[in-house]
Amino acid sequence: MSKRFLLCVLAAVVSISARPITDYTKKQEAWVETILSEMTLEEKVGQLFMIAVFSNRREADYTIVENQIRKYHLGGLAFFQGNALKQAELTNRYQAAAKIPLLIGLDAEWGLGMRLNNAFSFPKAITIGAAKDIELAEQVSEEIARQCKRIGVHFNFSPVGDINSNPKNPVINYRSFGESPLNVSELTSAFVRGHRKYNILTSAKHFPGHGDTHVDSHYDLPVLQHSLKHIQEVESAPFKAMIADSVSSVMIGHLNVPALDNGVPATVSERIIKDYLQKELGFTGLVISDALNMKGLLKSFPVGEAEVRAFKAGNDMLLQTSNLDKAYNAVLAACINGRITEEELNHSVRKILKSKYWAGLHSYKPVDLRNISEDLDTERSKELKQLIYNKAVTVTRDEFGLIPLKGLATLKMASIGVGVDQENLFQSTLELYGDVNSYLLQDKPARSTDWKSIAEEAVKNDLVIVSIHKVRQSEKLDYGITEETLNMLRYIQENSRLIVCVFGNPYSLKFFDEFETVMCGFEDEEEAHMAAANVLFGVNSAQGKVPVNTLSADGKLDYGYEVESFARLGFAMPSEVGMSAAKLQEIRKVVNSAIMGEEFPGCQVLVARKGKVVFYEGFGNMKYNNGQAVNRHTLYDLASVTKVASTLQAIMMLYDQGKINLDEKLSTYLPELLGTNKSRLIIKDILLHQAGLKAFVPFFDQTRFGSGQYNPYYFSNAPITSGHIPISDELGVNPIIKDSVFSWVEKSALINAPGSQYVYSDLGLLLLQKLVERISGRNLDAFVGANIYEPMGLHSMMYNAFTQKTKDQIAPTEVNGDFRKAAIHGTVHDPNAALIGGVAGHAGLFSNAWDLARLMQMNLNGGYYDDRQFFSKETIDFFTKPQSKVSHRALGWNRPTGPGDGTVSQYASSKTYGHTGFTGTCVWVDPEKDLIFVFLSNRVYPSANNQKIIKNKTRQKIHDIAYKALLY
């Protein structure tokens, strides 16, 4: 900073301290007058100019800018291409070259990402217009302003106040909040308020209104053909609202507005700026021109004359001249020869200096370059972005009420992504929610052969969801919608039910009038994909309204169906359910550290609250060092979690139906137990693990000869005999062994008197399996499948996963760890469960974290899910509460024993219930906090001797983070 500027600041301080100034305005004026009094004519002229600069150029270019700052005494810089860190570095460098601190400007209509690489982009204005949430719009604005301030930007050239009533508008279009004067006024004012919280200057543009034009002012002069009354009531409405909300500046567009000043571009029109904007509308703030290098103005006036006329018309700052030397010298000459008076010049310079004071430049500090990327890339930004898309998704047509989708248990669906070369978040989320087969069309179809074979496969399903991607923003080339795309949709609608999801400009909706069900996601972003999937499957309601007239049959302004949501588990941002996204991110650090320490090769972690999943990720690989990466669809062997996810669910259902009495002896239902030491066992005691049963008996020892050879009565080696059930790649088991195993269970010894001591036992669950099968008349897997898993659409939850999934979809467990002496991959890890063919009461269930969480959500909902009551809330409450002085457990469910048990969070409430599994799994439900936690891993790969996850209490640590993320 120059010595002269510091002396000016000191003089201002002395002046202020000499009199009792407490009012902000007086302090501001004192600073301005002190600076102004020390300025030369050349310096005053230089303050009018704000030139374009870039942070992706060469060192020679940066030196040129430094020299221009010194030579022309520039008032500001407008950054364009580059990146945030480099821009901040250059900002410090350029500020050091300036005598008076520079106003740093940026076009950040939808955030820094509008101009800078790898910077954050919020939804476009038209999307925010569809969401119609004023408070949320202000929060987005506030976050954009925070990011601007962080990199040293003082002036955001936004918001766009243009009312886009012309679908053919090539330059405003999606940059406008819409066509409704009221909606645009409310949202632009919210934008102004949000920026004001960080003292970031805003600029209402493009005055007096660029919306109803069809010419791009970068190339020619658009004409706004409306009456004065129309301009006053429509085009001017947002500008009036922003002026009332103290917008910092107004940007004048290069527009011909005959009703205000026929034939004279607004940029150089005193009638438009001084008479209409300043006198009639009462704007007293900073007036800034649109870029002066645009042909919309230069076709009428040459460089130099354009700048002089723009200033004389009322522009205080002259933005982005095409030739700084010519423009500066022309304005300077006009000041010398009297064409521009000293009073006019001082008036504008005062306004510029006042703006700098308000932006904090009277106490300028260089940008802190440390941690810029981390400070910009915040979870708050991501949350706000998702919330906007959630509110914006619009169901524009739904003639038969398909949305939200119903009957998911039996609904077979296909998804076709048009314009995508790999599965995106929209399709992968659909696959979680329902039974969906996905197809991709990398390019927009140009001929029928491009889509025919895929469409013929897709229509074999009950419903086809077609998502349209890479929609162009301009009307040119029909927004990228090809006739063959429409032909494909016509074919699908003729042969199946069809839903079209358009991820792009809503003006493209005019091409989809003939289709019965249409949704608009507005932009091709992951957050929009998630939002649309949530609406389709009833996780969220549809509230969005198309904020412009699309010229489609339904294209009246602000149209869209309001669609209600179901009680389905779905995705949400943590803030929606009172959780901290930043805190949840700490899960990644713990998990990645555990993987590096070889506690397990990979895992899934899911956290849900209030019926919304706020964290769900797959980490690592299925095997160490290499192998298939874990994703959200990977299936894990749940081990003992099977007890509560399968057998207990069946028991609760039968109890709820009045088919079993928990206080009865098990032998009442299984009379073959009469005369055995199990004849007096009470069902409740078995559920509480206090029935006196042994914890575990290695029944497989009874299936081999003394030499260790397999008994051929029970087993067949490769090739596996037909009718035998594979329990490894080279070993099958005869189904008749199930009767033998149950017989061995019945004959096993008791270790203490029933009801006298807690001993966790697998044997009790085998007995309960037999109880379920006897009463229901169906195998356990068939019973829970037909009565719970299938109706809930839990397509990943299954026994014997190898029968339905490929190995690259299933995490392996142990290698050569039990009597099978083989790699266990796709078949159950537990040896006793393997003996009886993989379907057991204590183990054998496979699932991903998603379906396990949905099952737990049904329990947390009091037995209700997806418009169906599976069993009563009273039953859930009864089974999950303490029942014994001997056992800490509830009925079937495990409960926390205390802070140090290593598997459940130390912060879990006393009402928490769930279970753990030997393979490295757990699930916990806390009704008090409305919180679900699922952790799935294969810590037993390649050896069950790996106890690191238990020793390090990793599951507890991750669960702790979920609780620490609770905000209230």
Is 622 domain-assigned? yes
Query: Do 34 and 64 share a domain, yes or no?
Result: no
Give the three-class secondary structure for 717: strand
Share above pLDDT 90 across residues of the chain, in percent, rounded to a whole number: 84
DSSP string, 156-185: E---B------TT-SSSGGGS--S-HHHHH
Residue 572: inside a domain? no
Average the pLDDT over 548-566 and give the result: 84
Range 603-620 average pLDDT: 97
Q: Would 370 be classed as within a structural domain? A: no
pLDDT over threshold 80, residue 552: no
On whether the CB atoms of residues 319 and 288 are closer than 8 A, the answer is yes
User: Of 936, 935, 724, 710, nearest to 811 (Cα)?
Assistant: 936
User: Which pLDDT score, from 0 to 100, does residue 22 have?
Assistant: 59
How long, in residues, is the chain?
968
- Per the domain annotation, does 570 fall within a domain? no
% of the chain at pLDDT higher than 70? 97
* Structure letter (DSSP) for residue 815: B
- 434 and 308 in a common domain: no
Q: Which of 17-31, 495-509, 648-662 has the lowest mean pLDDT?
A: 17-31
pLDDT score at 900 = 62
CB 163 within 8 A of CB 238: yes
Q: Is the peptide bond before 927 cis (omega within 30 degrees of 0)?
A: no
The two three-digit tokens of residue 337, written as one number: 């020869």
Task: For residue 140, tell me if it sits in a domain.
Answer: yes
Cβ neighbours, 10 Å, residue 453: 10
**Is residue 859 in a domain?**
yes
Task: Give per-residue pLDDT as tens, 117-162.
Answer: 999 999 999 999 999 999 999 999 999 999 999 999 999 999 999 9
Question: 84-97 and 59-72 helices cross at what angle (nearest 10)?
Answer: 40
Q: Quote the radius of gyration of the chain (alpha carbons, Å).
A: 35
Strand partners, 879: none
**Helices and strands of the chain, counted as H and E runs:** 36, 28
- If asked whether residues 32 and 46 sit together in one domain, one would say no
Output the average pLDDT for the chain: 93
Higher pLDDT, 87 or 712: 87
In the 8-state DSSP scheme, what is residue 365? Answer: -
Q: What is the CATH number of the domain that holds 726?
A: 3.40.710.10
Could you tell me if 932 and 861 lie in one domain?
yes
Q: Which stretch of 294-298, 336-340, 439-443, 464-468 has the lowest confidence by average pLDDT?
A: 294-298
Query: For residue range 659-704, what is the model confidence (pLDDT) as tens digits?
Result: 999 999 999 999 999 999 999 999 999 999 999 999 989 888 888 7
Same-domain pairing of 822 and 929: yes
Q: Which of 556, 559, 533, 561 is nearest to 546 (CA)?
A: 559
- Same-domain check for residues 422 and 398: yes
Same domain, 194 and 158: yes
User: Dihedral of the CA atoms 3, 8, 11, 15 (nearest 10)?
Assistant: -160
d(CA 586, CA 786): 39
CA distance 614 to 1: 48
- Count structural domains, the chain: 4
Round to whole Å and give the CA distance between 138 and 190: 5
Query: Got the DSSP string for 133-159?
Result: -HHHHHHHHHHHHHHHHHTT--EE---
| Per-residue pLDDT tens over the stretch 277-292 | 999 999 999 999 999 9
What are the tokens at 511? 């091409």
What's the CA gap between 468 and 502, in Å, rounded? 5
Angle at the Cα of 861 (from 858 to 867), degrees rounded to 5?
70
Cis omega (within 30 of 0) for bond into 719? yes
Residue with tokens 């497989």: 700
704 and 813 co-located in one domain: yes
Would you state the pLDDT for residue 86?
A: 97
Question: Domain check: are 33 and 43 in the same one?
Answer: no
pLDDT tens profile 75-128 = 999 999 999 999 999 999 999 999 999 999 999 999 999 999 999 999 999 999
What is the pLDDT, as a whole number, of residue 7? 41
b/e code 915-928 from CB counts within 10 Å (16+ = b): bbbbbbbbbbbbbe
pLDDT for res 40 = 97
Residue 501: HSE in the Cβ half-sphere, 13 Å Cα cutoff: 29
Q: What is the CATH number of the domain that holds 473?
A: 3.40.50.1700
Furthest C-alpha separation in the chain: 120
Question: Which two structure tokens, joined as six digits, stand for 32?
Answer: 């301005």
Residue 871 has what pLDDT? 96
Helix/strand/coil percent split, the chain, to 5 = 40, 15, 45
Q: Residue 871 half-sphere exposure, CB side, CA atoms within 13 Å? A: 24
Q: In the predicted model, is pLDDT for residue 12 greater than 70?
A: no
Could you tell me the strand order of the sheet in which 845-847 lies?
636-637, 845-847, 798-799
Contact (Cβ atoms closer than 8 angstroms) between residue 638 and residue 644 = no
- Whether pLDDT at 550 is above 90: no
Residue 664, domain member (yes or no): yes
Range of the domain at 787: 587-964
pLDDT score of 191 more than 80? yes
Residue 451 · residue 441 · CB < 8 Å: yes
- Nearest residue to 102 via CA among 80, 143, 70: 70
Taking residue 222's Cβ as centre, other Cβ atoms within 10 Å add up to: 26
- 3-state SS record for 184-219: HHHHHHHHHHHHHCCCCEEEEEEECCCCCCCCCCCC
Of the candidates 249, 307, 362, which has an alpha carbon nearest to the alpha carbon of residue 46?
307
Place of tokens 């699908």: 492
Q: Tell whether 509 and 591 lie within a shared domain.
A: no
Query: In b/e form, how buried is each residue of 321-341, taking b as 16+ CB within 10 angstroms?
Result: bbebebbbebbbebbeeeebe
Count Cβ atoms below 10 Å from residue 295 Cβ, excluding itself: 15
The pLDDT of 418-436, averaged and rounded, is 92
Looking at per-residue confidence, does 567 or 110 come out higher?
A: 110
pLDDT at 727 over 70: yes
532 and 663 fall within a common domain = no
Average pLDDT over residues 852-864: 97
Position 701 scores a pLDDT of: 83
* pLDDT tens per residue, range 466-519: 999 999 988 888 899 999 999 999 999 999 999 999 999 999 999 999 999 999
Write down which residue in 517, 533, 564 finishes a domain. Answer: 564
Residue 297 lies in a domain: yes
DSSP, residue by residue, 77-135 = EEE-SSBHHHHHHHHHHHHHH-SSPPEEEE--TT-GGGTSBT---PPPHHHHHHHT-HH
Give 77's strand partners. Answer: 51, 104
CATH number for position 316: 3.20.20.300
Do residues 522 and 592 both lie within one domain? no
